[in-house]
């Protein structure tokens, strides 16, 4: 089983290879330009896949590695310094290739280290979580968190290739599989109601780790995102739709502390909030909202946010990146499969949705 798609970006085109039980080193070697390789991973993924990758690469390359702790709370300046330090200690030069072996945190940090080491070096992504396979494979977003906000420091930087191996999902905790599925469902809600039907029909197979079904879902999501991003690399318009559920989700994540709610879980509950506000606007029906809740629940995702004081929630919302000159903008659903960015919502209705915790 093997699928391949090409992502077009302003700087260059690159492939996403979707496969299973691959020899990772063999797959990525053709995309490494220089002699030096720095593999970045975390302590969890290290145990599963690092040694094989290093051994495979070391036949052709001078291979170094750095292992980070596992968790969103380490996606910080302090831990990206570990990557810089490893690069400096290994005397890496401008032709080094960084390889991100892990989930979204490893990918975002490795990507930003690649973007900023010597003002930019090559990198390759091997995403090992469903979330990172569908979300980080396309778009070139890299970065770290600031104590006062997620992903506040970063860069747009495109990989040389992405290797998504479905077999890595068999070692993923179920809760993280669900969290990744939230983003899969997001694509259906903002882009394609037909895909929503497909997901409803195939959710049992997906959650049962059927690799054919997973590959189909990952390929579809990457293609949706690639289509959006090709039009709009710097997030002027359409790309913002990818943040459906995220403004609400950021409030949850920030308030609860990173790591308590997984990103995908917060996005799931956030999508329900966005859907409810869309219903208040009379764009979608109560039945549509129920359908969203059901597919999320089939993926074992939460649909109710934690209790957060309204004033706190509104203040946290002000820190969202989509705020323009103090004006909060939200992504809402015109219908299932069709999202819009808007600042034109009723503040009272927003507050009613934020106040609903049951």
Query: Where on the chain is the footprint of its own copies (CB under 8 A)?
Result: 34-36, 77, 81, 84-85, 88-89, 91, 93-95, 112, 115-120, 141-143, 146, 148-149, 151-156, 234, 318-319, 321, 323-326
Residue 55 is encoded by which pair of tokens? Answer: 């051994």
Q: How far is CA 117 from CA 11, 97, 120, 236, 270, in A?
A: 18, 11, 5, 27, 35
Q: What is the DSSP letter of 4?
A: E
Instruction: Give every CB contact of residue 198 below 8 A, 6+ residues apart in sequence.
Output: 188
Q: Nearer Cβ to its own copies, position 152 or 204?
A: 152
CA dist 138 and 156 (Å) reads 11
* 75 given a catalytic annotation: no
State the nearest-atom distance from the C-beta of 174 to its own copies, in Å: 32
Find the catalytic residue in 42, 75, 145, 183.
Answer: 183
Q: In angstroms, what is the minimal distance from the CB of 6 to its own copies? A: 22
Catalytic status, residue 250: yes
Q: Give min distance, CB of 321 to its own copies, in A.
A: 5
First and final C-alpha spacing in the chain: 43
Q: Closer to its own copies by CB, 24 or 92: give it.
A: 92
Beta bridge partners of residue 124, listed in sequence order = 99
Three-state DSSP string of 293-349: HHHHHHCCCCCCCCCCCHHHHHHHHHCCCCCECCECCEEEEEECCEEEEECCCCHHH
Q: Which of 72, 176, 211, 235 is catalytic?
A: 235
CB closer to its own copies out of 152 and 307: 152
Quick check: is 72 catalytic?
Answer: no
Least Å distance between CB 104 and its own copies? 15
| Residue 38 contacts residue 86 (beta carbons within 8 Å) | yes
239 is catalytic: yes
- Of 87 and 350, CB closest to its own copies: 87
- Residue 238 annotated as catalytic: no
Active site residue 119: yes
- The residues that are catalytic are 119, 141, 183, 225, 235, 239, 243, 246, 250, 263
């Amino acid at each position: 089983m093997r699928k391949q798609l090409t992502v077009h970006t302003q700087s260059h085109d690159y492939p996403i290879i979707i496969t299973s039980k691959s020899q990772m080193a063999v797959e990525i070697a053709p995309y490494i330009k220089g002699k030096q390789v720095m593999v970045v991973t975390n302590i969890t993924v290290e145990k599963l896949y690092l040694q094989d990758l290093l051994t495979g690469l070391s036949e052709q390359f001078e291979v170094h590695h750095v292992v980070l702790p596992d968790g969103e709370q380490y996606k910080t300046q302090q831990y990206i310094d570990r990557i810089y330090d490893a690069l400096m200690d290994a005397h890496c030069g401008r032709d080094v290739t960084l390889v991100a072996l892990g989930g979204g945190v490893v990918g975002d940090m490795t990507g930003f280290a690649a973007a900023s080491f010597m003002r930019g070096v090559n990198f390759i992504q091997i995403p090992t979580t469903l979330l990172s396979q569908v979300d980080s494979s396309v778009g070139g977003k890299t970065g770290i968190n600031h104590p006062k906000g997620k992903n506040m420091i970063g860069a747009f930087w495109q990989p040389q290739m992405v290797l998504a191996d479905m077999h890595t999902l068999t070692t993923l905790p179920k809760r993280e599989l669900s969290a990744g599925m939230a983003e899969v469902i997001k694509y259906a809600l903002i882009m394609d109601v037909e895909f929503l039907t497909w997901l409803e029909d195939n959710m049992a197979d997906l959650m049962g780790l059927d690799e054919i079904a997973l590959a189909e879902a990952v390929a579809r999501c990457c293609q949706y995102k690639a289509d959006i991003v090709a039009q709009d690399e710097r997030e002027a318009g359409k790309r913002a739709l990818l943040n459906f559920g995220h403004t609400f989700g950021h409030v949850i994540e920030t308030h609860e502390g990173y790591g308590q709610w997984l990103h995908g879980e917060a996005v799931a509950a956030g999508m329900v909030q966005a859907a409810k506000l869309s219903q208040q606007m009379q764009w979608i029906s109560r039945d549509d909202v129920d359908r969203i809740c059901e597919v999320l629940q089939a993926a074992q995702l939460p649909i109710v946010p934690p209790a957060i004081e309204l004033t706190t929630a509104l203040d946290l919302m002000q820190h969202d990146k989509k705020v323009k000159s103090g004006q909060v903008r939200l992504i809402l659903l015109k219908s299932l499969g069709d999202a819009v960015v808007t600042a034109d919502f009723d503040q009272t209705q927003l507050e009613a949705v934020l106040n609903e915790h049951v």
